[in-house]
Amino acid sequence: MTNKLKCIVTGRQLIATKDYYKRKVEKAGDEQTLHDTYICREAKNLLKQGVSVDRARELLDATIDSPVDQQLIDSIVTQDKSTRLRRINNIVSTSKSLNIKTDPRVKEYIDSIIK
């Protein structure tokens, strides 16, 4: 087989280096399985966020529209969750609701330094 991987979601092709390809084959089990299940990083990230395959294809300008087995998508997405910790942006901006006041003595000191 070739080290040219084609995403089953978008149709994008990746020409993998020998080392990267070897690691991917080892992770997938064999070359055929790798080629049958490869999903590019951009599509995988969208799928992990809960975006549907059709919407991911639309967002990433997919060149294919063949059906993808949902069980395969679920297994690939959940497989990576167990091996990596993903940062979830759970910081909520509260700047509009905060009323910050500076100590008057500090303000005077800052003003004296600036002048």
Question: Per residue of the chain (115 residues), what is the pLDDT tens digit?
Answer: 678 999 999 999 999 999 999 999 999 899 999 999 999 999 999 998 888 899 999 999 999 988 888 888 888 777 655 444 555 555 554 445 555 677 888 888 888 888 7
Domain presence at residue 97: no
Domain presence at residue 17: yes
CA-wise closest residue to 24 among 3, 7, 45, 44: 3
Domain presence at residue 105: no
Q: How many CA atoms lie within 13 A of 55 on its CB side?
A: 9
Domain count, the chain: 1
Please give the torsion angle defined by the CA atoms of residues 99, 97, 49 and 13, in that order, rounded to the nearest 10 degrees: -60
Report the distance separating Cα 79 and Cα 27, nearest Å: 11
Domain span at residue 34 reads 4-83
Report the distance separating Cα 49 and Cα 19, nearest Å: 29
Domain presence at residue 24: yes
Domain presence at residue 42: yes
